[in-house]
Amino acid sequence: MATPPPTADWYRRFAELEAAGHSAVYEDWALGVAGDPAVLALIEALPFPKRQPNLILACARLLGAPEGGYVEFRHWLLDNWDAVAGQARVRMTQTNEARRCAALLPALARIDGPLALIELGASAGLCLYPDRYSYDLGGERIDPPTGPSPVLLSSDYSGPVPTVLPEVTWRAGSDLNPLDVGSTDDVRWLTTLIWPEQHERRERLSAAIQLVAADPPLLLRGDAIDTLDDLLARVPVGATPVVQTSGMLVYLPFESRMRLVERIRASGARWVSLEAVGALPTVRERLPEERPGAYVLGLDERPLAWVGPHGQFVEWIQGA
Ligand SMILES: C[S@@+](CC[C@H](N)C(=O)[O-])C[C@H]1O[C@@H](n2cnc3c(N)ncnc32)[C@H](O)[C@@H]1O
Q: Whose CA is nearest to atom 9 of ligand 1?
A: 96
pLDDT, tens only, 42-56: 999 999 999 999 999
pLDDT confidence of 5, banded at 50, 70, 90? low
**Residue 166 and residue 113 in contact, taking contact as beta carbons nearer than 8 Å:** yes
Q: pLDDT tens for residues 108-148?
A: 999 998 999 999 999 999 999 999 999 999 999 999 999 99
- To the question of domain 100-316 being in CATH 3.40.50, the answer is yes
177 Cα nearest atom in ligand 1: 25
- In which residue ranges of the chain is CATH 3.40.50 found? 100-316
Instruction: Characterize 202-227 residue by residue with b for buried, 16 or more Cβ atoms within 10 angstroms of its Cβ, and e for exposed.
Output: bebbebbbebbeeeebbbbebbbbeb
Segments of 65-202 assigned E as strands: 115-120, 134-137, 140-142, 152-158, 168-175
- Nearest-CA residue for ligand 1 atom 23 is 121
Say if ligand 1 is within 6 A of residue 220 CB: no
Task: Choose which residue among 91, 117, 174, 175 to substitute to test ligand 1 binding: the one with the highest number of ligand atoms within 8 A of its C-beta.
Answer: 175
Largest CA distance in the chain: 65
Q: Which 8-state DSSP code applies to residue 234?
A: T
| Ligand 1 center–CA 295 separation, angstroms | 16
Q: Is the model's pLDDT at 174 over the cut of 70?
A: yes
Q: Are the beta carbons of 47 and 222 closer than 8 angstroms?
A: no
pLDDT of residue 162 exceeding 60: yes
